[in-house]
Structure 1
């Protein structure tokens, strides 16, 4: 029917409606609304942008697993059509009027699969299935005292969800291949990565390599890294022979891709010991140089004092991700099976330097002593007596005296606690900004990318017996 100005008043374009593609034939609108949980539940879901629409085909049962509808933006019109049909010719339809009932900007579609359903039914003595829902779910107010020893109580304890995903996953299951010889603790069965770096365990006897692996230089040439970046890093190692990756990226304002293949050419990497997590320039032996005490590593951990521990983000979550399909794009459903991109943003210089005004972004941060710009700690480093000629460093504490790191941690804890109290008392806006700050692990810790690729997570290595340098 063509548009006419005479019936323009019948159209209602200002009315905003929501479209729901119901996965079924609706014959009873009341039962359809009950499957959504009623008007209140439906309105609450529509008002929340991240929540998914739940549809329960058995709304009267609390064990019914819902199907979830996803929210989609759309543009459309809802038409109200009146048509006439002859009784003797049902296929002959004549449209008498068409009206616009409203416009649609939001639509819910049920495109995902429903979770597995487990009915509360058990076989009885006759071998027939019997529904025990009424025995499990009480009705009304219970006035009688339950018996202490009830032997006839049915057991029905289904999990919250059977499947972690509500979309089809491409999985090819096969039996795991058993290795003929079991690997010892700490060994890896996977092939080594392609950076070809020198990753060494710290000891006092083995000589240090004087040059990089030739394959590391080839990998650097293949990556076509800018010569200006190589020159900057080379000059930095000439001025300072030992760096952590975080400190180097922060000082030169470089990204992960800039230093990833350059560091294996510039120096070796210590996996443990006083200089663990640092890159040492080829030709420089920290075991023979007393000034290398400034480059030793200090692992600072924020202590659980008052509300300070709760205001600082953890390095990584310790709890496994639980499936939550009620909200759109849950972590368990949107996880990408492919490896994440290795490109990092430019690191902040302040993430590897501790000053008198520092508020840490993470509970565990690794600093080199030269980057701890606290006058008291620098004075303590200067007062360490120079060892006699021929004396080497300690395998655990390096050139520092015993329990030196504990004293430094106490000093840093007092400074952080004082800064937090000042920020909380003087400026509430600064405290709110501090609470919402989320640092990235790669910007604060040392060489996680290299360590995880070649030798696993450094946190796991700590738990396997690496010394704490006490």
Structure 2
């Protein structure tokens, strides 16, 4: 029975491994194209000896600046894509029938993604004519006999000067950097250089965004320079519209909330947010961007935007470190974690946060018990004096501590449920492996077979 089940393995023909050279030009003559690469033998030798393949459009010119190809493996530049070399035949009398034959697979690709420039030909224009003289026989010997008698010539040749540059392009790829201004040798520059031992050559970086403390005066409008700079850095109207509508909806936001709602890039947000809001560094509304002209210390509804810092350092289900990066993919819903790299500014019941330390606005904590705590504060007519509002905000400190404890309790509950689900899954996998092992023991008994449909 065992001999019957041993089927002979089918032999598979391994496809030929070919190389692909992306020639930087239109090939009309294959022989001339190979000659510009040094010949077929030179290409094969360079490939198998792991040397560089060089291209020269003037192979006879010893002063040419050759182009070096970049070698790339097919696995490194593609994922799941194959480059097949196929031979296709089609009869003229019956073009509907096509016969194809696969010749092999491409596993190595050579590309010439570099500059093809700085080619110097050793030529000199004749006086009074449009023709040119070839200077190579006068510069270097072209054969063995000429080389042996090169230094014993009776006549000294008046060879024209042909001095190609010592070094061609310093880099193989063109640079996108903008050339700087020429050095200023004026009197003002000389005086500044005499004033100290060193000079800071870094361009001054102006910070046009406004930052305030809890007890400082809040600005009413941005400066004209900040508005002009924001319009200059971002001329597209869509990002400005998103930020304008966001702060009309609500006057105070965290940075994570702004990124999550607008889907703007972080670097773009830094350039244009100075036009719409200022940053509060400390106090009950610390870490918030506040709309110009709004003061939460005067408006009682500002208590809804007080910040609350919660750290989750006791739970292994939450990553240790992760950047607050907002992803544009929100298509999947109903999972414990936010999708992708999404960092949600809301705390929702039954969902673990993406990072171990988060700053929430009180109004962004979506827990039923937290909402009841806020309603109880409103119904109690709690009215602190203006000095207490600047120090602690509109909400009593015990309420903030209670909301923080509610968040931590919900995180602990969700984490325990997740660990229980993982434990049940591990037990199911253990039972499956135990059942599979019992089946294997039955098959190993002599003259006993188990057929599974």
TM-score, normalised to structure 2, is: 0.44
